[in-house]
Amino acid sequence: MKKIVLIPSRLQSERLPEKPLKLIGNKTMINLVYEAAIKSVADKTVIATDSELIFNEVVNFGGDVQMTNADHTNGTERIYEASLNLGLNDNDVVINLQGDEPFTDPNDINQIFNLFQDDKVEMVSMFSEVNDKRDLVDPNKVKVVLQDSLAQNFYRNEIEPNKSSFIHLGIYGFKFSTLETIVNLPRSENEIKMRLEQMRALDNDIPIHMIKSNAKMHLGIDTPADLKLANELIKNAQ
């Protein structure tokens, strides 16, 4: 079983333009994400982008990068294109690691790979506890409802929160065959309505196994305020 981490990264961002190239400390955000990934047990880590600026930045820091089509509607489609160049078999595992998660814990990546030792597992994602009840009604914080370690539903703020709700973390692991199946399915009604790409899997009865993150920190960088906080955290850690 090959273990692959693919990091989709694009330049466009409404709230924080060119965010993969923003500095956190003395390194770009995409550099920090890549460094976290290569500390895992992955056999290979590749950044998949449609931006020449990101491509050149990755080359400059010595990372592995592929140019991909600019027309993809989500990161899953982008990493699938990149995966086609890697000669993968059906049971090889591909992890989609978001390019705006500079504080990713490599042990979380390892946890996902380990779960695929069970041949019945097709797709995996992660969750964390709800530490701030305001997150339950914040549409920018995606929630997941669990039952027996399987995702039952994802939502933003459309349904009443319950004790089985947790914060969803946007990292995904796939068997390569499952990744191929998902990207070749039409976009589902819930995927479009909720703007949640993982709903395509649930709407087509593909089970998503969920595991709890052991990371001490979760901070996706989406806004200037997030970037400021990230730089404060990096400075305090030095």
Burial class of residue 212 in the structure, from the number of CB atoms within 10 Å of its CB (0-12 exposed, 13-18 middle, 19+ buried): middle
Residue 73: CATH number of its domain:
3.90.550.10
Confidence class of residue 160 from pLDDT cuts 50, 70 and 90?
low
Average pLDDT of the segment spanning 93-122: 96
Average pLDDT of the segment spanning 2-16: 90
Question: What pLDDT sits at residue 235?
Answer: 80
Confidence class of residue 135 from pLDDT cuts 50, 70 and 90?
confident
Quick check: 140 and 134 in contact, CB under 8 A?
A: no
In this structure, the number of other CB atoms found within 10 A of the CB of residue 223 comes to 15
Average pLDDT of the segment spanning 169-181: 97
Domain of 85?
Answer: 3-237
Higher pLDDT, 111 or 158: 111
Question: What pLDDT sits at residue 180?
Answer: 97
Query: What is the C-alpha to C-alpha distance for residues 231 and 25, in angstroms, rounded to an integer?
Result: 6
Beta-carbon contacts of 52 under 8 Å, excluding residues fewer than 6 positions away, are 67
Average pLDDT of the segment spanning 48-65: 97
Whether the per-residue pLDDT at 133 is higher than 90: the answer is no
Question: What pLDDT sits at residue 161?
Answer: 60
Whether the per-residue pLDDT at 54 is higher than 90: the answer is yes
What percent of the chain is predicted at pLDDT more than 90?
75
Question: What pLDDT sits at residue 51?
Answer: 95
Confidence class of residue 112 from pLDDT cuts 50, 70 and 90?
very high
Average pLDDT of the segment spanning 46-55: 97
User: How many domains is the chain built from?
Assistant: 1
Query: What is the C-alpha to C-alpha distance for residues 81 and 69, in angstroms, rounded to an integer?
Result: 8
